Amino acid sequence: MDKKSLANIKKLLIQKKAELLNKTHFTKSSIDSKTNEEVGDEIDTAVQNVERELIFELAANDNITLQEIKDAIGKIEKNVYGFCECCAKPINKERLEAIPWGRYCIKCQEEAEKPKKYQG
């Protein structure tokens, strides 16, 4: 991948990282406010618990993506960006433009997502 493309991808990664950090801060504030809400009846408590769990799940997903973005930026800085972590082959440029923090080529990603057959 040429230097200009890498610079553009790094810029996108830094922007996405900033967005996720802001979102994470907002999510933490939401969790804190939900924790301090007064509880009503059983249905109110159930709804609040579901909302809290959803917020935790979204925050966990954002933290995973944030770490993948940090890893991708590190790879760019070490000049090892754009190679599949499984087969070590170059990742398609279009894939990296769509998911700049992608770690695997399409073939390896599809293989990893296939349901495992039970060998009992």
Residue range 19-68, pLDDT digits in tens: 988 887 776 666 666 556 566 788 888 888 888 788 788 888 888 999 99
Q: Are 87 and 108 in contact (CB under 8 A)?
A: yes
* Percent of residues in the chain assigned helix, strand, coil, to nearest 5: 70, 0, 30
Q: How much is the average pLDDT of 65-88?
A: 95
- What single letter denotes the amino acid at residue 25? H
Mean pLDDT, the chain, whole residue set: 86
- What single letter denotes the amino acid at residue 60? A
Q: Please give the model's pTM, rounded to 2 decimal places.
A: 0.74
pLDDT tier, 15 (very low <50, low <70, confident <90, very high otherwise) = very high
The answer, yes or no, to whether residue 115 has pLDDT greater than 80, is yes
Q: Beta-carbon neighbour count of residue 72 at 10 Å?
A: 24
- The b-or-e profile of 22-33 (16+ CB within 10 A means b, else e) is eeeeebeeeeee
